[in-house]
Amino acid sequence: MWKKTWGIEEGITTCGGLIVIGLILHLFTGGVDWSSFAWPLNLYLAIAYLMGLLVLYFLRKKIYFVQWAMSYKAAIPSLIAVVIVTFFMGMIKQVPSTIASEGISIFHRMLSFWPFILVYFWMTTIVGLVSIRHLFSFRLRKIPFLLNHLGLFIALVSATLGSADMKRLTMTTRIGQAEWRATDLQGHLTELPLAIELKNFSIEEYPPKLMLIDNATGKALPNDAPEHLLLEDGVRSGILSDWRIEILDKLEMAASVSGQDTVKYVEWPSMGATSAVRLRATTPDGKRQATGWVSCGSFLFPYQALRLDSTCSLVMPDREPRRYSSEVTIYTESGKQIKATIEVNQPAEIEGWKIYQLSYDESKGRWSDISIFELVSDPWLPVVYTGIILMMLGAVCMFVTAQKKEEQ
């Protein structure tokens, strides 16, 4: 080993050495803080890295190590090492760097783990050198190979160095008020170059449903497989365990009115209204029967359960949101003003920011006057997409050339 022509054994030893060096670095310096590589430092590092690769390429005839690094004998062990560390990363739950590191294993933060970084750096260097070689010795038949390697190199470098510039903020807005401040993951308040005014917030909910609960524990019944009765339009009856349920009255927007002994519900189309149903529950033998109102309640009215017997009661859980959206007006420092409707998985985009619907005031439910947005800015993302597109084009070219060779 290390004599004459270097081979696979030297590649394996190199990867093992990088892992050992990484462990030593991690022991003495701790994990890598990627936030310290923010703009413009990450750009300078990218340029310096590219210049270094070019220098190594031009010195390849004088330095045998560079020639070997551009061969499959170095590439295969590096790829195997990357697959192994990536497998461990995928099998172990990763914790964001924003969470305190006390009591958290280094394997739960692989992106900051020196051995992981060095192994990926070694593979990226090999890919970069190979890409440079094929750029300087361009051949049409090598286009698929070049696109794949160049795309992978661009995606890896830009995603790694660009991660320091990515911003992920949370903004809470209220109807009728413009907000330009947001908080980061550490809770620090940040002023943004844009403002969001919430015009309206709306929720579409699934129909209410009924469930049986244990009076002693409050758990849904049956214990092994809880059942529910979905009160869709047209549903007038159903069965829950040993009880037959008959819907006598159903109010989508109701208010509770307390009497001397009972609580009843009336139509109340106003803010804070709740869903309520009047029903009759009967056992198959007809010996046990209960009639009354059941409601999920709201921030204004308490929930209402119907006690069936000494062991169980009938309840209506909170209605689940099917879709919720925010109508907003977005203002920017440059003078732009756009109106948009933001939903989950349907963000608004403006001047490099993506605005996602994150949450709302769940205590008020459909009557929420608050909408919570997540704002994401990732200026390096177009570069990452460029690398991915090049890899996709390389894959298409490989498929086309393979088909031609097969026909020939």
Q: In sequence order, what DSSP letters do the residues of 52-105 get, joined into one string?
A: HHHHHHHTTTT-HHHHHHTSHHHHHHHHHHHHHHHHHHHHS----TTS--TT--
Neighbouring C-beta atoms of residue 36, cutoff 10 Å: 9
For 276, residues 6+ apart whose C-beta sits below 8 A from its C-beta are 250, 251, 254, 256, 265, 293, 294, 295, 304, 316
Distance CA 127, CA 160 (A): 15
Task: Decide: 278 and 290 in contact? Cβ < 8 Å.
Answer: no
Task: Decide: 113 and 105 in contact? Cβ < 8 Å.
Answer: no
For 341, residues 6+ apart whose C-beta sits below 8 A from its C-beta are 325, 326, 327, 328
Segment holding 15, helix H or strand E: helix 8-29
Per-residue pLDDT of the chain (408 residues; tens, 9 = 90+): 445 578 899 999 999 999 999 999 988 888 888 888 889 999 999 999 999 999 999 999 898 999 999 999 999 999 999 999 999 888 888 776 655 555 566 777 888 889 999 999 999 999 999 999 999 988 888 888 999 999 999 999 999 999 889 999 999 999 999 999 999 988 899 999 999 999 999 999 999 999 999 999 989 998 888 999 999 988 999 999 889 999 999 999 999 998 777 889 999 999 999 999 999 999 888 888 999 999 999 999 999 999 998 899 999 999 999 999 999 999 999 889 999 999 998 999 999 999 999 999 998 989 999 999 999 999 999 999 999 999 999 989 888 876 666 555
Closest CA to 191 of 164, 174, 169: 169
Give the CA radius of gyration of the chain: 31
Sign, CA dihedral 384-387-391-393, equals positive
Q: Which string of DSSP letters, residue by residue, matches 386-401?
A: HHHHHHHHHHHHHHHH
User: Which residue's structure tokens are 């049986």?
Assistant: 212
Task: Decide: 108 and 94 in contact? Cβ < 8 Å.
Answer: yes
Task: Decide: 240 and 211 in contact? Cβ < 8 Å.
Answer: yes
Closest CA to 232 of 163, 166, 322, 314: 322
Distance CA 228, CA 251 (A): 19
